[in-house]
């Protein structure tokens, strides 16, 4: 491998280290997988670099991209950095006010956007942003120049010597990207990451994949999120082909088509997959149903560290032949690694999937840490249920006196853009980044996350509650899709509950409960009693001050579109508390 000190060094490294392949990057267009070789990738990136320079882009300029995952994102990503500019990827799902804030705060020069509706929205927003010179689209749209127009400009005026001089002037510690965190309150924060920040992170995790350049990865989490972006670079560093899923709705089909070796996801997706597995078992009858749930129960007793006795392994082999192998086949039959991050994962999911031969790895980190701080691995003591594994190689982790997790290393951000005061609040004089998370080390060295410092609240009785721990436990029930525990400065804990409507409708059919709408259904006394039964079951596992005394049942799912969830499907607690303020107040009236 060649030395990689700037992110765009990945391209010559790919050529020097791996055999030619026609699918370095791939996406589905009009029902067919469109593939790009590394040579095509490099040529597109270079032409776009020339095009950007022809438009007057200078070192330090800022360029935004707003799009779904696609090979063209990579072409533009490398082109922006090769031109010495700063890439600012932005979620396609944020509000016009947030777009306007980011464009003005970062003095965006050019914007590249996909989709008709979004293109029109961004053009309207950019009218209030003096720095924005032009909005480009990725594909042909009436009234816009597009990415391929820029490629044409670059092809008409190549300037390889000028580009090489710019690349030679770029150092590893130079700013590569600004990632604006979605946030739950106030304006987004611009996290400044250098080339070294991100490179150190993907090199540090590069020992985890057990396969090489013959492998395929499926990518569907947003590339504007540092988690998927870092892994996107990791795949290129290892010569792994990257296939971009069409959408969240097509993931299952895409998996069956390409048989990936690896993907990264969020716990919410794994919960949905688990729920579908359970639902398929409930449809079975007689002996088949009995065998199915025997296998499910057996998986829950699986020792992920491999300390399973001979009697267990004999039963496991039978379960694998009859049940687990079918689960693997439904998920493409080829997964060697599934990385979960963005939120804590339920222990039962790790046990179940690993028992079924679907190795789940859990990572922990933040945008500010590029992102990985700790990850489960194949190392000795690399995995322990309920932990996120040991600290990543090269990253120091310390627990402060108040229990906060601190991290220090080459992955720690340069700071928040145009906000030195906020930067000083989170990075101390000794270089320790204060994560805002609470945790502890296990005796064997694994890190356990016990709560989010800002999310832990105190009741009026002076007792602390870590809501995420309770929520994750309750979401183990097939009846629960989402839940938010509330009760700060109140005498007890309560919760807003979002039922799993598919499961609840199925239960209503079995029980012959009639209703016309979901809103009518959740108002039925029998539904409330059934959901309270779920809460009561899990309350027995909580301390007396943690037990949920009252619930309010939502009549529709929470989503990114309705505002309750972030793009990585985490709760936007402040938004939820404000949106449902009246309903929360009634819980404590």
Given 143, 170, 197, the domain boundary residue is 170
Calculated CA dihedral for residues 7, 8, 11, 12, nearest 10 degrees: -100
Question: In whole angstroms, what is the distance from residue 552 CA to residue 546 CA?
Answer: 17
Q: How confident is the model at residue 381 (pLDDT cuts 50, 70, 90)?
A: confident
Query: Is the pLDDT reported for residue 287 higher than 90?
Result: yes
Given 119, 152, 170, the domain boundary residue is 170
Q: Which residues contact 50 (CB under 8 A, 6 or more apart)?
A: 153, 154, 155, 157, 158, 159, 163
Residue 354, domain member (yes or no): no
Q: How confident is the model at residue 271 (pLDDT cuts 50, 70, 90)?
A: confident
What does the pLDDT look like over 439-463, one tens digit per residue?
A: 999 999 999 998 888 888 888 888 8
Number of domains in the chain: 2
Question: In the chain, what is the straight-line distance between the N-terminal and C-terminal CA atoms, in Å?
Answer: 65
Residue 507, domain member (yes or no): yes
pTM above 0.85, yes or no: yes
Query: Is the pLDDT reported for residue 136 higher than 60?
Result: yes
Residue 203, domain member (yes or no): no
| HEC assignment per residue over 224-276 | CCHHHHHHHHHHHHCCCEEEECCCHHHHHHHHHHHCCCEEEECHHHHHHHHHH
In order of 102, 267, 296, 353, 497, the CA distances from 274 in angstroms are 38, 10, 10, 9, 20
Query: Is the pLDDT reported for residue 140 higher than 80?
Result: yes
| Contact between 270 and 340 (Cβ < 8 Å) | yes
Q: What value does the mean pLDDT take over residues 389-398?
A: 96
What does the pLDDT look like over 474-518, one tens digit per residue?
A: 999 999 999 999 999 899 999 999 999 999 999 999 999 999 999
Residue 123, domain member (yes or no): yes
Confidence (pLDDT) at 272: 86
Query: Is the pLDDT reported for residue 411 higher than 90?
Result: yes
What does the pLDDT look like over 33-42, one tens digit per residue?
A: 999 999 999 9
Question: In whole angstroms, what is the distance from residue 300 CA to residue 319 CA?
Answer: 12
Confidence (pLDDT) at 89: 98
In order of 114, 295, 586, the CA distances from 219 in angstroms are 18, 30, 43
Question: In whole angstroms, what is the distance from residue 235 CA to residue 356 CA?
Answer: 25
Residue 341, domain member (yes or no): no
Residue 130, domain member (yes or no): yes
Question: In whole angstroms, what is the distance from residue 495 CA to residue 210 CA?
Answer: 42
| Contact between 497 and 553 (Cβ < 8 Å) | yes
Residue 40: give its domain's CATH number.
Answer: 3.40.50.980
Which residues pair with residue 193 across a beta bridge? Answer: 177
Query: Is the pLDDT reported for residue 185 higher than 80?
Result: no
Q: Which residues contact 323 (CB under 8 A, 6 or more apart)?
A: 291, 292, 295, 296, 356
Least Cα distance to 296 among 323, 275, 326 occurs for: 323
Confidence (pLDDT) at 540: 93
Q: What are the φ/ψ torsions at residue 275 (nearest 5 degrees)? A: -60, -40
What does the pLDDT look like over 164-176, one tens digit per residue?
A: 999 999 999 999 9
Residue 502: give its domain's CATH number.
Answer: 3.30.300.30
Question: In whole angstroms, what is the distance from residue 262 CA to residue 252 CA?
Answer: 14
Mean pLDDT of the chain, nearest integer: 94
Query: Is the pLDDT reported for residue 184 higher than 60?
Result: no
Query: Is the pLDDT reported for residue 186 higher than 80?
Result: no
Q: How confident is the model at residue 182 (pLDDT cuts 50, 70, 90)?
A: low
In order of 218, 293, 331, 380, 509, the CA distances from 288 in angstroms are 32, 9, 21, 38, 22
| HEC assignment per residue over 176-228 | EEEEECCCCCCCCCEEEEEHHHHHHHHHHCCCCCCCCCCCEEEECCCCCCHHH
Given 170, 193, 211, the domain boundary residue is 170
Calculated CA dihedral for residues 263, 264, 266, 267, nearest 10 degrees: 70
| HEC assignment per residue over 491-544 | CCEEEEEEECHHHHHHHHHHCCCCCCCHHHHHCCHHHHHHHHHHHHHHHCCCCC
Cα-trace Rg, the chain: 25
Residue 114, domain member (yes or no): yes
Least Cα distance to 160 among 42, 319, 253 occurs for: 42
Domain that holds residue 542: 457-587
Residue 501, domain member (yes or no): yes
Question: In whole angstroms, what is the distance from residue 527 CA to residue 127 CA?
Answer: 50
Query: Is the pLDDT reported for residue 379 higher than 80?
Result: no
What does the pLDDT look like over 61-108, one tens digit per residue?
A: 999 999 999 999 999 999 999 999 999 999 998 889 999 999 999 999
Sign of CA dihedral 266, 267, 273, 279: negative
3-state secondary structure of 126: helix
Which helix (H) or strand (E) segment holds residue 347: the answer is: helix 347-355
Q: Give me the DSSP letters along 68-114.
A: -S-HHHHHHHHHHHHTT-EEEE--TTS-HHHHHHHHHHTTEEEEEE-
């Amino acid at each position: 491998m060649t030395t990689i000190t700037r992110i765009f060094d990945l391209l010559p490294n790919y050529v020097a280290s791996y055999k030619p392949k026609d699918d370095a990057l791939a996406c589905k267009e009009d029902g067919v997988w469109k593939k790009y070789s590394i040579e095509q990738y490099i040529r597109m990136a270079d032409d776009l670099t020339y095009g950007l320079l022809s438009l007057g882009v200078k070192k330090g300029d800022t360029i935004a991209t707003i799009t779904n995952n696609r090979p063209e994102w990579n072409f533009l990503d490398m082109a922006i950095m090769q031109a010495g500019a700063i890439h600012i990827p932005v979620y396609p799902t944020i509000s016009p006010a947030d777009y306007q804030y980011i464009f003005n705060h970062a003095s965006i020069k050019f914007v590249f956007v996909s989709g008709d509706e979004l293109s029109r929205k961004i053009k309207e927003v950019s009218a209030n942003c003096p720095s924005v010179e032009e909005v480009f689209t990725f594909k042909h749209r009436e009234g816009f120049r597009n990415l391929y127009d820029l490629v044409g400009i670059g092809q008409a005026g190549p300037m390889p010597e000028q580009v090489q001089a710019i690349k030679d002037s770029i150092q590893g510690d130079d700013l590569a990207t600004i990632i604006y965190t979605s946030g739950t309150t106030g304006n987004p924060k611009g996290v400044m990451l250098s080339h070294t920040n991100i490179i150190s992170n993907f090199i540090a995790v590069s020992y985890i994949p057990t396969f090489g350049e013959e492998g395929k990865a499926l990518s569907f989490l947003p590339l504007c999120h540092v988690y998927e972006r870092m892994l996107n670079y990791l795949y290129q560093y290892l010569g792994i082909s990257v296939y971009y899923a069409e959408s969240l709705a097509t993931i299952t089909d895409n998996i069956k088509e390409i048989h990936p070796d690896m993907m990264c996801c969020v716990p919410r997706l794994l919960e949905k997959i688990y729920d579908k597995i359970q639902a398929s078992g409930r449809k079975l009858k007689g002996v088949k149903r009995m065998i199915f749930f025997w296998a499910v129960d057996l998986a829950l007793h699986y020792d992920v560290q491999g300390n399973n006795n001979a009697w267990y392994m004999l039963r496991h082999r039978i379960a694998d032949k009859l049940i687990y192998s079918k689960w693997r086949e439904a998920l493409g039959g080829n997964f060697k690694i599934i990385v979960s991050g963005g939120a804590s994962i339920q222990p039962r999911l790790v046990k179940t999937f690993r028992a079924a031969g679907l190795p789940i790895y859990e990572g922990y980190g933040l945008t500010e840490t590029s992102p990985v701080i700790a990850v489960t691995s194949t190392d000795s003591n690399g995995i322990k249920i309920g932990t996120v594994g040991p600290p990543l190689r090269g990253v120091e982790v310390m627990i402060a006196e108040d229990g906060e997790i601190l991290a220090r290393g080459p992955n720690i951000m340069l700071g928040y853009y145009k906000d030195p005061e906020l930067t000083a609040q989170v990075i101390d004089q000794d270089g320790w980044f204060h994560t805002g998370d609470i945790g502890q080390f296990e005796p064997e060295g694994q890190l356990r996350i016990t709560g989010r410092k800002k999310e832990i609240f105190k009741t009026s009785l002076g007792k602390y509650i870590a809501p995420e721990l309770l929520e994750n436990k309750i979401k183990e029930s097939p009846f629960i899709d989402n839940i938010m525990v509330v009760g700060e400065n109140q005498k007890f804990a309560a919760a807003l509950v979002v039922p799993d409507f598919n499961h609840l409708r199925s239960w209503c059919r079995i029980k012959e409960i009639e209703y016309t709408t979901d809103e009518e259904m959740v108002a039925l006394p029998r539904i409330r009693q059934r959901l309270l039964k779920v809460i009561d079951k899990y309350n027995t596992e909580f301390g007396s001050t943690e037990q949920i005394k009252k619930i309010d049942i939502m009549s529709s799912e929470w989503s990114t579109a309705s505002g309750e969830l972030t793009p990585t499907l985490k709760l936007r607690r402040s938004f939820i508390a404000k949106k449902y303020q009246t309903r929360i107040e009634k819980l404590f009236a």
